[in-house]
Amino acid sequence: MIKISPTNRGTYTLAETYFFEYDGYCVVVPMGYEYDGASIPPAFWQVLGSPFHPKYMTAALAHDYLYTTHETTKEYADSLFKALLLQSGVNDISASLMYNAVHLFGGHWWNA
């Protein structure tokens, strides 16, 4: 479970360094990294839930960090996102929907 603290800006700050490993690659997110939860449009909150639901926070942390640092490829970041969603108990349909959304429409944020 990740340890985070809310900020007064509607984001969260990582309270300790966090490690992810996926497909033989290790990602280290440093303590103090700030992120905004899962990027779920409000129209989908009724279906998927809040972007700050605990089952999304770990996947969102890894995904946001990799999109910020470009430490790896976009494809890897998106695949890790889906794997962490599934590992956190998100059902396959929701995880696939969220993966497809970031994979198809995340290019703008990747390139920003």
The three-state secondary structure class of 106 is: coil
- CA separation for the pair 105, 78 (Å, rounded): 11
The DSSP code for 30 is: P
- pTM for the complete prediction? 0.87
Task: State residue 28's pLDDT score.
Answer: 94
- CA separation for the pair 89, 45 (Å, rounded): 17
Range of the domain at 59: 4-111
Task: State residue 2's pLDDT score.
Answer: 82
The answer to whether 94 and 59 are in contact (CB under 8 A) is no
Total domains, the chain:
1
How confident is the prediction along the chain (112 residues), in pLDDT tens digits per residue? 788 888 888 888 999 999 988 888 898 999 999 998 888 878 877 888 777 888 988 999 999 999 999 999 999 999 999 999 999 999 999 999 999 999 998 888 898 7
